């Protein structure tokens, strides 16, 4: 019979003899497989450079939906605290910390590198990247910048990374539709004030602009900041409404909570354009300057023709005071104070080129052209005035007798005209 070596587990080396196996038990009861100096309670040592072996294999031959192969962990009280393994049916790899304290699950899962937490899952479900005390569902903590990056290689138009928030009121088991004014998502900025982190002091939020259904999902965007010297929550300063209207400094509807903007751009406050001095220009759709300091260099223009006579047309226009029909046309958001302007139909009779008709059939006046027409009318008045001055000068050069005779002749002609008019 072959003799064995102390501390080695015995095995049959042939049909009759017992010798040494590869399993060694050290003096402290540590077990070594392939080594006589185990570093831990179980130490498996081998030499392989092909990747065929990993040191430990666990297999469950059952293919049922609840068939897992893996490991169980117990604490010092013999309580089962964690399971990790592989499901043969769903191909899920599961790590399940089931440690409890006072009947509540209070364990965590911590992935560390060099003793530093890199990915942490708390008992409340919060996930920390770079922190083991996440204060939100996902909390990323690190120095430097470029915290989150999304890279894609699209194969179709508009197939690019999306950052999406999803909101359903109610509960996961019984979700409810969002209502007008409900938040759909917020991107907020918070800073450290020397003592603590602040509330959201600047950011962008999306709101439902109506009660949502399967076919109606109006939404709006609000951009908020905090004024200098204040510490209140951020105030909505600019908004984009469902119809594309943009409001800057506009108030919020007290009922729906949505900001207001009754035109494509509505500003509550002053507007400044340009970069230096007075070089700002506001243009119409064709690029023609409406107000401000606008491009007008002759070298930029062609087919230049002067205005024709406009004095009679301009003097035919009748400026009026009026009030808008606010109640009859609520969708146009007219003001209720007295206004001044022209009547489009009256302008169209003498200056049709200044009048346009919108898609609803209502007429509008291009007021930006009126100053140019006024300039032309003033030029015509000056020409008439110059002619009268010249005529008076000629009359003054005549002798008194001839002047008296001319005046008498004019009076006679006027009398004849008046008599004819009375008939």
Classify residue 127: in a domain, yes or no.
Answer: yes
Classify residue 244: in a domain, yes or no.
Answer: yes
For the chain, the domain total comes to: 2
Residues 6+ apart with CB under 8 A from 86: 68, 69, 70, 92, 93, 94
Classify residue 255: in a domain, yes or no.
Answer: yes
Classify residue 160: in a domain, yes or no.
Answer: no
Tokens linked to 185: 């998502």
Domain boundary residue, one of 121, 140, 159? 140
Token pair 């440690």 in the structure block, residue: 99
Domain boundary residue, one of 269, 293, 327? 269
Beta-sheet strands, E only, within 37-79: 42-44, 68-74
Classify residue 215: in a domain, yes or no.
Answer: no
Alpha carbons within 13 angstroms on the beta-carbon side of residue 75 total 11
Query: If we measure between CA atoms, which residue out of 197, 194, 200, 190 comes closest to residue 222?
Result: 200
Classify residue 307: in a domain, yes or no.
Answer: no
Cα of 47 vs its chain's centroid, Å? 58
Report residue 25: phi and psi, to 5°. -110, 115
Cβ count near 246 (within 10 Å): 17
| pLDDT attached to residue 87 | 94
Given a contact cutoff of 8 angstroms between Cβ atoms, the answer to whether 262 and 330 are in contact is: no
Domain boundary residue, one of 215, 244, 269? 269
Q: How many residues does the chain have?
A: 423
Instruction: In whole angstroms, give the CA distance from residue 31 to residue 21.
Output: 12
DSSP symbol at 352 = G
Alpha carbons within 13 angstroms on the beta-carbon side of residue 70 total 18
Query: If we measure between CA atoms, which residue out of 204, 211, 209 comes closest to residue 185?
Result: 204
Range of 132's domain? 108-140
Torsion of CA 105, 111, 114, 116, to 10 degrees: -60
Classify residue 197: in a domain, yes or no.
Answer: no
Classify residue 221: in a domain, yes or no.
Answer: no
Given a contact cutoff of 8 angstroms between Cβ atoms, the answer to whether 183 and 167 are in contact is: yes
Given a contact cutoff of 8 angstroms between Cβ atoms, the answer to whether 277 and 288 are in contact is: no
Query: If we measure between CA atoms, which residue out of 96, 99, 95 comes closest to residue 79?
Result: 99
Instruction: In whole angstroms, give the CA distance from residue 329 to residue 339.
Output: 16
Cα of 148 vs its chain's centroid, Å? 18
Conformational region of residue 130, where left means phi above 0, alpha means psi within -120 to 50, and beta covers everything else: left
DSSP symbol at 252 = B
Q: pLDDT tens digits, the chain, 423 residues: what are they?
A: 567 788 999 888 888 888 889 999 999 999 999 999 999 999 999 999 998 888 889 999 998 899 999 999 999 999 999 999 999 999 999 999 999 998 899 999 999 999 999 999 999 999 999 999 999 999 998 887 777 888 888 887 777 888 889 999 989 899 999 999 999 999 999 888 899 988 888 999 999 999 999 999 999 999 988 888 887 777 888 999 999 999 999 888 888 888 889 899 999 999 888 887 778 888 888 888 888 888 888 998 899 999 999 989 999 999 999 999 999 998 888 888 999 999 999 999 999 999 999 999 999 999 999 999 999 989 988 888 888 878 777 776 766 666 677 677 777 766 666 665 554
Residues 6+ apart with CB under 8 A from 163: 150
């Amino acid at each position: 019979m072959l003799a064995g070596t102390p501390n080695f587990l015995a095995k049959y080396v042939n049909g009759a003899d017992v010798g040494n196996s590869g399993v060694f038990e050290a003096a402290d009861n540590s077990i070594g497989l392939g080594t006589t100096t185990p570093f831990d309670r179980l130490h498996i040592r081998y030499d392989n450079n092909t990747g065929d072996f990993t040191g430990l294999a666990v297999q469950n031959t059952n293919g049922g939906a609840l068939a897992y192969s893996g490991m169980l962990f117990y604490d010092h009280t013999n309580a089962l605290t964690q399971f990790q393994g592989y499901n043969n049916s769903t191909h899920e790899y599961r790590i399940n910390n089931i440690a409890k304290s006072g009947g509540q699950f209070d364990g965590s899962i911590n992935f560390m590198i060099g003793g530093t937490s890199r990915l942490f899952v708390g008992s409340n479900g919060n996930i920390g990247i770079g922190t083991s005390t996440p204060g939100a569902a996902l909390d990323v903590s690190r120095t430097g910048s470029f915290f989150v990056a999304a890279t894609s290689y699209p194969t179709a138009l508009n197939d690019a990374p999306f950052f999406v928030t999803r909101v359903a009121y109610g509960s996961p088991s019984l979700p409810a539709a969002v209502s007008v004014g409900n938040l759909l998502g917020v991107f907020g900025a918070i800073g450290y004030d020397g003592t603590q982190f602040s509330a959201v002091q600047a950011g962008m939020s999306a709101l439902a602009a109506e009660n949502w259904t399967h076919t109606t999902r109006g939404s709006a965007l609000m951009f908020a900041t905090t004024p200098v010297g204040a510490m209140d929550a951020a105030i909505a300063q600019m908004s984009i409404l469902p119809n594309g209207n943009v409001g800057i400094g506009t108030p919020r509807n007290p009922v729906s909570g949505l900001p207001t903007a009754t035109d494509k751009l509505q500003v509550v406050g002053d507007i400044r354009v340009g970069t230096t001095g007075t070089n700002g220009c506001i243009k119409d759709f064709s690029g023609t300057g409406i107000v401000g300091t606008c491009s007008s260099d002759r070298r930029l223009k062609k087919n230049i023709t002067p205005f024709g006579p406009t004095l009679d047309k301009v003097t035919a226009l009748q400026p009026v005071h009026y009030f808008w029909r606010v109640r009859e046309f609520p969708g146009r958001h007219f003001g209720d104070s007295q206004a001044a302007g022209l009547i489009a139909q009256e302008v169209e009779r003498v200056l049709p080129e200044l009048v346009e008709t919108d898609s609803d059939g209502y007429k509008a006046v291009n007021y930006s052209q009126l100053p140019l027409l006024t300039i032309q009318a003033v030029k015509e008045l000056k020409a008439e005035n110059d002619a009268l001055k010249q005529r008076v000068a000629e009359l003054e050069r005549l002798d008194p007798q001839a002047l008296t005779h001319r005046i008498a002749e004019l009076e006679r002609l006027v009398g004849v005209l008046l008599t004819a008019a009375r008939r």
